[in-house]
Each structure stands twice: as structure tokens, then as C-alpha cells.
Amino acid sequence: MLFSVGATAEDASGAWNSRAPNEHDLALPECLPSPISGLGRGYRRVVKPDVLAPGGRVVFLAGNTANDETKFSLADPRPRIPPGHRVAAPSATQGDLSGVRYSAGTSNAAALVSRAALRIADALRDLGDQPNAAQLALVPMALWLRTLLAHSASWSTEATRLVERALRTESNTHTFTDEVSALLGFGVIRPERVFACTAERVTVLAGGEIAADERYVHRLPLPPSLNAHTAWRRLTVTLSWFSPINPAHRKYRRAALWFEPPGQRELLVQRRGVDWQAVKRGTLQHEVLEGDRGAINIQADGHLEIPVTCLAEAGSLDERVPYAMAVTLEVAPGVNTKIYDEVRARIAPRVGVRPGA
């Protein structure tokens, strides 16, 4: 599925107390990567890992080096006591089937993401009897899963502030959001955000195939109840595609797709999270835009236009490229709006009326 997962130091094993003076929990705050999770970029500085997911906490042992510096080493990676994720394991007693251990790592995070992908696949199959379901079926399931998993991710406010305090300097002010993507990826996944909508959150799916030099414009109707809205709102747009490759070319990927984020004028939202240039380097563009100032002016037939463009990038592109896109519009919970019902009503296919025989 061409999807990489990093780990956060989160689990449900409860509070942890050290058993020896040299034992330490080096877990970073929630939504930041675990000390045992790999960091870095992909080819041509593509955002990697794509997302983060809970990988469990680990215990480190502190030891002094010759120059009085403290060096930490990983304790037993699969202890029989917390912290970490509790998993089935061979018991010390023969025939006992209740044996467990506690483990942590990016493999744990990947397993949780795989579980979320299965739940998303089930939700998509449930749409099989809905209008426009045939259009969804034109896009490979793996592409939908990749798109929707990334679509559920974002940088948390707390994690972003902590990273800014620790890493932002005068010299990296203009490149900070690009550099931080090597640490946070697109953020921690929240799968529940894509399993279903709410009254204040609506997700629209679009996809198909596109060829070189083509441009498709997708229209998202804006709900009338947002007119004069002044509270917090967020627009999330995620596009991903499967690109043919050219191993002999330095750019490698033959198909370059992208969209320009809408909403700055209509919804008064601004980009948040990963740098606008970094999101266009790979085959997954994930944009989060937020706003909480100014009153929105929604026209009677208001809508957002999201154009998807395709160009040949690494030599010729003679085949059509499958792509999937998810768009979520949401407002703060408790606001008196019903944007899901309004958008659904405007997207639903019109049923033709035929005169009686």
C-alpha cells in the first residue's frame, strides 16, 4: 500500500513506576514520536513516516560513560510487566494459554494501523448500495485505505508547540514546518474520524482515473448554515495516487498529481501542519486548513472547487492514473449547524420524474 508508520509512546497499560534507580521512561508527550521510532525523510525529501500511531512505552536503563555523560540503553523489549502493549505470548507454565508479555515498537503501530484499515474497508463496503457507489468501485481499495488513513491524521496543537519551543530558531524560521515533517509526518491517525460523519462533520469522497495534462474539478457544496459562522472550522483535503515508475529517471515517479487547497477566501481558513511544498513531493498530498476569525459569507449556491491536475514528471506518461480524494468540512462541536445533512442533500443525485403512462 506504499504507506509507512511511525510510533508514539502511547499505550493503555496505566501508570508506571520504576523498580530501580537507573530505570527511566523516556516517553515524549502524547502525539510525539517514541524514542525507538525511526526518523527521517523519504526519497527526494518526501514526508516519511506518513503517519504516527500508538507503539507502546518502553523502559530505558541509564548508565554513566567515561566522560560522565549519561547513556541510555533499552531494557527488555518484551517484559512480562508493564509498560507497553499487552500481547499473547508463550506461558512459563506448560499448557497455560493465558500467557502475556508487553511489547512496544513500530510493528505495534503498524498493526494498529492495519486494524484501522480493515475497519475502513468494512465502512466502504457498507456504501455499496448507496448512490454513486459505482464511482467508488473504480478506485482500488488499497488507494482508498491509504487516502483515508492519512486523512484522519493531523498535528496536535500541544505537539506542535513543544516542537516549536525545542527546535525553532532564527535560522530555520522559513523552513521549520518542512523540517518538522521529518519528526511528525502528517500526524497521529484518528481512525474514528473517517468511520462515520457527525452533524458537524461531513466527509466527501471523490476519485477515478486521470491522464497526463488533464485537470478535473471537484465541487464541494457549502452548507447554508455556515453563513455568518464565526467559530472554529477546519477543512481537510487528502489526495493520493498510484504512479507508474521510471527507474532510469532521477524523479522516479512518472505521474505528478496535485491540488491547490480551496477555502481561504470562502471559509477564511489557513494552512496548518506540513509545509505546502513538502506535501507535493510524493504521491500523497494531505492539507489541513483551519480558521476561527471573521464571519463566513456563503452564497445561496456556494461551493468549493478543488481542481486535480496531472502532469508527466519522469518521462512520458501513456497510461491513466488512479487517484482517490477525501474532503472533510467540520465545525466546533455544539455549534448549531447541520452541515452533514445539508451537504448530503446537495450531493445526492436528483431523481428524475417521469410522466405517468
Q: For the chain, which residues make up each domain, given as ranges?
A: 108-347
Per-residue model confidence as pLDDT tens for the chain (357 residues): 578 999 999 999 888 888 888 888 877 778 899 998 988 888 888 999 999 999 999 999 998 776 778 888 888 766 778 899 999 989 888 889 889 999 999 999 999 999 999 999 999 999 888 877 888 889 999 999 999 999 999 999 888 899 999 889 989 888 888 888 889 999 999 999 999 899 999 999 999 999 999 999 999 999 998 889 889 999 999 999 999 999 999 999 999 999 999 999 999 999 998 988 899 999 999 999 999 988 999 888 899 999 999 999 998 999 999 999 999 999 988 776 789 999 998 887 644 444 444
Q: Cβ–Cβ contacts within 10 Å for residue 288, how many?
A: 24
* Contact between 207 and 323 (Cβ < 8 Å): yes
- Write the CA distances from 213 to 140, 206, 219, 280, 336, integer angstroms: 22, 19, 20, 17, 43
Rounded Cα–Cα distance for residues 77 and 53 (Å): 18
- Write the CA distances from 212 to 134, 238, 283, 305, integer angstroms: 24, 20, 15, 20
Q: Look-up: residue for cell 462515520?
A: 196
| Polymer length in residues for the chain | 357
Kindly report whether the global pTM for this prediction surpasses the value 0.75. Answer: yes
Exposure class string for 155-190: b at 16+ Cβ within 10 A, else e: bbeebbeebeeeeeeeeeeeebbbbbbbbbbbbbbb
